[in-house]
Amino acid sequence: MLKTNEKDRLYEVIIAMIGEDSSIKAYKSGFNEKTVAVVEDMIEAGTKCNANMKKLISDLLGASSTLTKGWLKKVLGSAKQNLDITSQRLVIPIII
């Protein structure tokens, strides 16, 4: 069983990941070890998503590694390389 301060901190982690959510806040008193496991999975999914985004940007930029204003428009306008964006999946876990 989680202590009240642990539930508060867990909620702070959740809002840091997905933003303030009144429906999740309403369930805060019911947070338990399963909630901790789900949040751990959410953080892991976020880490994988960040790695996928880094790879996607790296693939889009090619040899250039610098993001400057207007970089996406230039990349989208050039057919320099084929990129399968659908292979980069964003996973957003749902906490119940």
Whether 43 and 86 have beta carbons less than 8 Å apart is answered as no
Q: What is the pLDDT of residues 42-51, one digit of tens each?
A: 999 998 988 8
Closest of 31, 32, 12 to residue 20, by C-alpha: 12
The values of phi and psi at residue 90, to 5°, are: -100, 120
- pTM of this structure: 0.62
For the chain, give the number of residues.
96
Measured in degrees and rounded to the nearest 5, phi and psi for residue 87 equal -80, -15
pLDDT digits (tens, 9 = 90+) for 70-95: 777 776 666 445 455 545 454 445 44
The two tokens of residue 11 are: 């909620």
